[in-house]
Amino acid sequence: MPAALRAPAARSRPPAVARTRREVLPYGRHEVTEDDIAAVVAVLRSNRLTTGPELDAFEAAVAAAVGAREAVAFSSGTAALHAACAAAGLKPGDDAVTTPLTFCATANAVLYTGATPVFADVVPDTLTIDPERIRERLTPRTKAILPVDYAGHPAALDALLALADERGLTVIEDGCHALGARWRGRPVGSVSHMTVFSFHPVKHITTGEGGMVTTDSGVLARRLRQFRSHGIFSDPNRRARRGTWWYDMTSLGRNYRLSEIACALGRSQLKRLEPIIARRTAIASAYEAAFRELPALRVPVTARDARHAWHLYPVRIIPERSRADRDTVFRALRQAGLGVNVHYRPVHLLAYYRKRFGYRGGECPVAEAAGAQLLTLPLFHGMRDTDVERVIQAVRTVLKSYAG
């Protein structure tokens, strides 16, 4: 096993939960340490379980980690996307351009505001949204662009921001895969008007469920905080400090708050972000070296200007170079004990979007072709070297059995 695969030196105590290795190795999994448990227990022993000091500390820690002025926590990544769309002012009659190669939550968040998601195709190498295809989709109704940092690779953020500035649009970056990634030296979270992160258990750090929006705009941060708490413009902590009960609701918001328990877990895990990125990068490098010889498999590409966060490791199965298509390889690897998955079916081809908007296929040919080939291999920072070797050997065996 390559030396690069050796895990970085631990910065906290070992995992409290035994890493039982079942027959199926999942594509992603969280890891909880004794330090994480201690942080959560401290909150449980405190007198605040929501909207307290851990929330403030977690938001400040994420803002510092990504170089943003403001960070606003939410109950999930989807809630954070919804809030960002609302803060951008999306409403019925507006359009927002996004990529079809994402989880449906990206486009759904636009629908939650009453606006319409419009899909622009992706570039063939990184599978991130194509700025030129965005330009083709712009109309006077367009108010926002929602790029996705697919699998942890940043979108072409400079080009997107230039286009947004030209047309007066808001860039809401779906960075749910990309905590720790960089674009031209700048951390994801500090580049776009708003960037959304997810803390689902398969992500780099977890709060169980949770999300965050980072921004440099004080105006947007105030809108986000108001939206997550029913549209009430003053928070209870401030009212308590001032000795007043008076509040008012000036807009229609949601209850999208993140608990103190979740914030404590997230803040503890965030301290390990760099070792987590290093481990994921080492695994990705080992895969690339091992799979380079397989003509039927195309490994992910990293642009020269990007630092990949490696949330996912999506390969493409090229049927012209094999006697098996993606679904055949999927079934064979599942039988071999690998919890491979597919990320993603293009959103515009999902039944709801077909029925509501009349998509028939052919609207985004690059994304559609990739969607038929993509296969996500196991990659998470808790993987042992033997797990990585198990994946490599299984993939080699299956693809070589269908070669020629």
Tracing tokens 């990206």 back to the chain, one arrives at 106
DSSP reduced 3-state for 223: helix
| Segment 109-122 mean pLDDT | 98
Q: Peptide bond preceding 287: is omega within 30 degrees of 0, i.e. cis? A: no
Q: How confident is the model at residue 1 (pLDDT cuts 50, 70, 90)?
A: very low
Cα 291 to Cα 394: distance, rounded to the nearest angstrom: 11
If one counts every other C-beta atom within 10 angstroms of the C-beta of residue 104, the result is: 17
Q: What's the mean pLDDT when you consider all of the chain?
A: 94
Q: Does residue 374 register a pLDDT over 90? A: yes
Cα 277 to Cα 89: distance, rounded to the nearest angstrom: 34
Q: Does residue 10 register a pLDDT over 60? A: no
User: pLDDT tens across 72-88, in order?
Assistant: 999 999 999 999 999 99
Q: Does residue 266 register a pLDDT over 90? A: yes
Q: In what helix (H) or strand (E) does residue 352 lie, and over which residues does it extend?
A: helix 351-357
User: pLDDT tens across 175-192, in order?
Assistant: 999 999 999 999 999 999
If one counts every other C-beta atom within 10 angstroms of the C-beta of residue 185, the result is: 7
DSSP reduced 3-state for 163: helix
Please state the φ and ψ torsions of residue 363, each to the nearest 5 degrees.
-75, -30
Distances (CA, A) of 160 to 130, 198, 202, 236, 261: 9, 22, 28, 38, 36
Same domain, residue pair 261 and 148: yes
User: Which of 187, 190, 123, 115 has its CA nearest to residue 150?
Assistant: 123
Cα 46 to Cα 42: distance, rounded to the nearest angstrom: 6
Tokens representing 342 are 């597919």
Same domain, residue pair 246 and 302: no
Q: What confidence score (pLDDT) does residue 14 get?
A: 44
Same domain, residue pair 65 and 179: yes
Same domain, residue pair 266 and 293: no
Q: Can you give the CATH number for the domain in which 353 is found?
A: 3.90.1150.10
Cα 150 to Cα 154: distance, rounded to the nearest angstrom: 7
DSSP E strand boundaries for 258-401: 297-298, 306-307, 313-317, 338-339, 374-377
Residue 314 · residue 375 · CB < 8 Å: yes
Q: Facing residues of 110 across strands?
A: none
Same domain, residue pair 169 and 233: yes
Q: Which amino acid is at 42?
A: A
Last residue of a domain, one of 209, 236, 270: 270
User: pLDDT tens across 296-347, in order?
Assistant: 999 999 999 999 999 999 999 998 999 999 999 999 999 999 999 999 999 9
DSSP reduced 3-state for 69: coil
Cα 357 to Cα 101: distance, rounded to the nearest angstrom: 17
Radius of gyration of the chain (CA): 22
Tokens representing 227 are 């939206």
Q: Which amino acid is at 231?
A: G
Same domain, residue pair 249 and 355: no
Q: In what helix (H) or strand (E) does residue 324 lie, and over which residues does it extend?
A: none
Q: What's the number of domains the chain is made of?
A: 2
Tokens representing 334 are 């599942």
| Active site members | 203
* pLDDT more than 90, % of the chain: 89
Q: How confident is the model at residue 235 (pLDDT cuts 50, 70, 90)?
A: confident
User: pLDDT tens across 86-113, in order?
Assistant: 999 999 999 999 999 999 999 999 999 9
Tell me the HSE value of 151 on the side-chain side, using a 13 A CA sphere. 30
Q: Is residue 105 part of a domain?
A: yes
Same domain, residue pair 243 and 299: no
Q: Is residue 23 part of a domain?
A: no
**Do the bridges between strand 313-317 and strand 297-298 make them parallel or antiparallel, or are there none, so unpaired?**
antiparallel
Last residue of a domain, one of 237, 254, 270: 270
User: Which of 156, 118, 158 has its CA nearest to residue 137?
Assistant: 118
User: Which of 209, 204, 171, 205 has its CA nearest to residue 190?
Assistant: 171
Same domain, residue pair 245 and 304: no
Same domain, residue pair 189 and 315: no
| Segment 37-46 mean pLDDT | 98
Same domain, residue pair 101 and 176: yes
User: pLDDT tens across 216-229, in order?
Assistant: 999 999 999 999 99
Cα 262 to Cα 209: distance, rounded to the nearest angstrom: 8
DSSP reduced 3-state for 172: strand
Q: What confidence score (pLDDT) does residue 239 get?
A: 65
Domain coverage including residue 66: 34-270
Last residue of a domain, one of 270, 295, 314: 270
Q: Is residue 19 part of a domain?
A: no
Q: What confidence score (pLDDT) does residue 233 get?
A: 78
